[in-house]
Amino acid sequence: MRIELQNLGKRFNQQWIFRHLDYEFHSGQSYAIVGPNGSGKSTLLQVVAGSIEKSEGKLNWSNDHQPIEAELHFKQLSLAAPYLELIEELTLTEFLDFHESFKPFLPGWNTQSIIQYIHLEHSANKQIRLFSSGMKQRVKLAQAVFSNTNMVLLDEPTSNLDLDGIALYRKMISELCAGRLLIVCSNDENEIDFCTNRLNVMDYKKIPAA
């Protein structure tokens, strides 16, 4: 899988968040999107994911050199981010079952085995609204990483996690993301030190003179 950004730009009102961004993402590679707080890391990730519209440029997706139409991008990606909410009225089991109904899990995995992997067996039938923030983050990571998609997008993936949760995150990356296109949006080295490529949003802040 390949994602090509050509002269990509995004602005809100008159302020450009980034501009003239040329870059490529490839399957089997891990990428970190970095930059100071408020620099536009999450915005760039959401543009790549198709969650928000670009302001200029092109965003081309392809698989085996065949273009992937924009309306089919959602089948290729899974995303975990602080701004994405869980359905808190559902139990953990109900939520993962529901998620699997439109985004199948990786081969060999099911709701029960995923719950065991993230060490939440004791809360399998508890409503998510009763979970701690760290437990909710484990669920967010699970629904993204265990989805059978070619690309995994993670924004600040260890938010609210304790040391055991961070260790679990790194285990998930090592065991479940190999061979996929992985993009992590963060400034925390614990979240991105394994990434082999880095894209700094600040490199695309300077607007060339006309």
Both tokens of 107, joined, read: 């081969």
Q: What integer best gives the mean pLDDT of the chain?
A: 95
The secondary structure element, H or E, covering residue 6 is: strand 2-12
pTM to 2 decimal places: 0.94
| pLDDT grade for 210, boundaries at 50, 70 and 90 | very low
pLDDT of residue 209: 46
Per residue in 13-43, pLDDT (tens digit) is 989 999 999 999 999 999 999 999 999 999 9
- CA 114 vs CA 60, 146, 160: distances in Å: 33, 8, 20
Q: How far apart are CA 194 and CA 198, in angstroms?
A: 11
The CA distance from 186 to 39, in Å, is: 11
If you classify domain 2-204 with CATH, what class do you get? alpha beta
pLDDT per residue as tens digits for the range 125-167: 999 999 999 999 999 999 999 999 999 999 999 999 999 999 9
pLDDT confidence bin for 111, thresholds 50/70/90: very high
- pLDDT at position 205 is 85
Report the phi/psi class of residue 28: left, alpha or beta, with left for phi > 0 and alpha for psi in -120 to 50. left
